[in-house]
A = this chain, B = another copy of it.
Amino acid sequence: MGIQTNKKGLLVVLSGPSGAGKGTVCSALKEEVPELVYSVSATTRPPRKGEVEGVNYFFKSKEAFQRMINQGELLEWAKYVNNYYGTPRTFVEERLAQGHDVLLEIEVQGAYQVKKVFPEGVFIFLLPPSMEELRARIQGRGTESKDTVEDRMKAAREELGHARYYDYLVVNDKVAKSCQQIHCILEAEHLRRERIFQENPNWLEGI
């Protein structure tokens, strides 16, 4: 019959300071690893034109969102500018059980919450190549006042300290390179002996 490789999906958490380029890397990763499933967030923010329920977000009332928090249905959640955002647990767990790798692109605080519930996840920290480059990226958006840039730089410096809690560190100097590296991390994690035997203690007997 031949030996089976690891069938359960990996929970992959991609985080890092704001300005590291998480969004850009995630978009590029959809080309590089098309089989990767992206977690869909729940939010209390009203849908924008063209946004589709269950594709862009799960749209929830504040009451429904609060109920999800209370009943432990969110892997992580946070409040930004009067709206709540969170990661529904069921969506993620179902996809993992089906054997899909699931990617969560979230802020460091959210990642910290997920780590407590899913210690077996693969935690990848994306870093800017330098603080100067980070500043250039934040300023480059051109939408931020001088004070806001300083605030964001200060926040980024604090967020960088979270690197110590992650499994892998990816320096995002070139998006294509970062994508390849993340692809390799997923490939390698599926081959880890610990993971394979944890899931199937009799794996060797399949040979």
Binding site for B on A (CB under 8 A): 1-3, 5, 125, 127-131, 133, 160-161, 163-164, 166-171, 173, 180-181, 183-185, 187-189, 191-194, 196-197, 204, 207
Contact = CB atoms under 8 A, between A and B. Distances in A.
Contacts of A184: 183-185, 187-188
Contact of A188 (B161, B163, B173, B188): B188
A4 to B, nearest CB: 9
Given A170-B191, A207-B131, A197 B2 contact: no
Given A184-B187, A185-B188, A171 B129 contact: no
A130 B191 contact: no
Contact of A171 (B5, B133, B170): B5
B168 A192 contact: yes
B1 A207 contact: no
Q: Which of A164, A169, A171 has the most CB of B within 10 A?
A: A169
Contacts of A207: 127-131, 160
Given A3-B129, A129-B2, A187 B181 contact: yes
A168 B195 CA distance: 9
Nearest to A185: B188
B169 A196 contact: yes
Contacts of A167: 192-194
Nearest to A122: B188
A161 B203 CA distance: 11
A7 to B, nearest CB: 13
Contacts of A5: 171
